[in-house]
Amino acid sequence: MAACTAPLGAASIRFLFKDHYLWKTKLLTIPFSLNFVKRGFAANALSQSVEDSVTASYGGPIEHYRRLVEEGTLKEDVHQKSVLENLEKLQQTLKGYDNQPQSFFSKMFSKPKIPKGYYIYGDVGTGKTMVMDMFYSYVETNKKKRVHFHGFMLDVHQRIHRLKQSMPKRKAGKMAKSYDPIAPVAEEISEEASLLCFDEFQVTDIADAMILKQLFENLFKHGVVVVATSNRQPEDLYKNGLQRVNFVPFIAVLKDHCQTLQLDSGIDYRRRNRPGAGKLFFLTSEPDVHATLDKMFDEMAFKQNDITRPRILNVRNRKLTLSKACGTILDCTFDELCDRPLGASDYLMISNLFDTVFIRDIPLLTSWKKTQARRLITLIDALYDHKVRVVILAEAPLDDLFVVEASLDDHAHEVLDDLGIKQDAASSLAIYSGEEEVFAFQRTVSRLTEMQTEEYWQEGDRSTT
């Protein structure tokens, strides 16, 4: 998140496909990969070779940060520096930390002292992910995982389902014994990670909200250290969510094991002027715009060792059909990606296989399209995390794309009736007011702005990896 001041460029997109680039020294050069540990735990992590080179060059996160400021790669931000100073102390504390005793004797008579983690919150684009990634790269343990929170919870629910399916079927006429799989799932995860770093800690799903307290109590019980970034302060998590009273105790658990740090300089570094990668955001009102995008796709596809054809992906034993792709270039409509019942696992698969995605015909996102808006938010998060490049065709400019007014459809009325909630009180619920989507979409706008820069597009070039 360098705070550069050069104006947005108007250069042709063709420069992106030249054979040679002048590469600038980056904060963290993260090679593209989607690593899966046992049982499908998805994690974006720095490769060990990259980490070795980083730690060999600098003494720690603060020294690394200062050097980048001296080089002019970053503009010094006292808020970022303050958070990094705290994270460096934790990084030093975690040297050699292992939450799993290595011997029978140590299991019986000693337990490792569990360090407190950090919960870092602040506005979009202020550098939360950057400082967490810098901290993560210096932590000296093999048992560390950096994950997007949404993907983590998806994995948790899949583990819960697997354990439930593994239970013996009850015999006819016999009462089924109650079985709680959350504690065993937490123990599984604790065996895989001593440190969990969560990006974009945000709770919007009632299924997540209802299990978080028990899940994290068990993770902390097994010595897992948590560092998380979020746009929400802990007290505002799942704000106005359904049955929030059952979620609130989780906040106390989180604050008991994680110190809260605010990183809020008031600057969205993603939206500071930086050289652009050419025109990547188009409006449907522009003349011959589909022909323009077709030409862009054909120019990119020409570099691929493939033909343009439909692609069928196997996502957890489910077929996902995409109508137009060539090699690592995907061309889709908004309806194809966001008006079908797709989720994080689908978008992670797309991010793993494609380095450039065209998203056409994004409509004005109103109160009637909150579900589709949530999918778009999840999609952009996945693409951004994996440095996937995007070309957008939308009905309205980016800042005006999402406008939500509270309204209730027939399904909403049924849900409220089932939960015994009066409909005149529904306007305060986040899932019907659209407040949570508006809040999350601020991050989407910020990320899409950065995704149009020359710097982002160069980082997303997988032809050199």
* pTM given for the model: 0.65
> What CA–CA distance (Å, rounded) separates 276 from 326?
25
Whether 39 contacts 154, CB under 8 Å? no
Residue 51, C-beta contacts closer than 8 angstroms, at least 6 positions apart: 137, 138
Cβ-count burial of 212 within 10 angstroms (0-12 exposed, 13-18 middle, 19+ buried)?
Answer: buried
Q: What pLDDT is stored for residue 160 in this prediction?
A: 92
Question: Measured between alpha carbons, how far is 188 from 222 in angstroms, rounded to an integer?
Answer: 10
Task: Give the closest residue to 449 by CA, choosing from 268, 267, 231, 264.
Answer: 268
Average pLDDT, the chain: 78
pLDDT in tens, 1-57: 444 333 333 333 322 322 222 222 233 322 222 232 222 233 333 333 334 444 546
The pLDDT of residue 73 is 82
pLDDT of residue 412: 47
How high is the pLDDT of residue 8? 32
Low-confidence ranges of the chain (pLDDT < 50): 1-54, 56, 175, 406-409, 411-413, 415-416, 418-433
The C-alpha atoms of residue 140 and residue 364 are separated, in whole angstroms, by 47
Which domains does the chain carry? Answer: 23-269 (3.40.50.300), 276-464 (no CATH)
